[in-house]
Amino acid sequence: MKKSLAVIVCLGICLSAAAGARAESPCETASAHLLDALDKGDYAGATGDFNDTMKAKLLPEKLGQIWPAVTQQFGERGARDAATVVPAGDLTVVLTPLHYGQSTIDSKVTCDAQGKVAGFFIQPHH
CB within 8 A of 122, min separation 6: which ones? 70, 98, 105, 106, 107, 108
In the chain, the domains with their CATH numbers are: 25-124 (3.10.450.590)
Q: What is the mean pLDDT of residues 20-26?
A: 73
Detail the DSSP E strand segments found in 48-116: 77-80, 84-88, 91-100, 103-111
E-strand stretches of the chain = 77-80, 84-88, 91-100, 103-111, 117-124
Report pLDDT for 126. 82
Supply the pTM of this predicted model: 0.80
The pLDDT of residue 57 is above 50:
yes
Average pLDDT for 94-110: 97
Structure confidence by residue, pLDDT tens digits, 58-101: 999 999 999 999 989 999 999 999 999 999 999 999 999 999 99
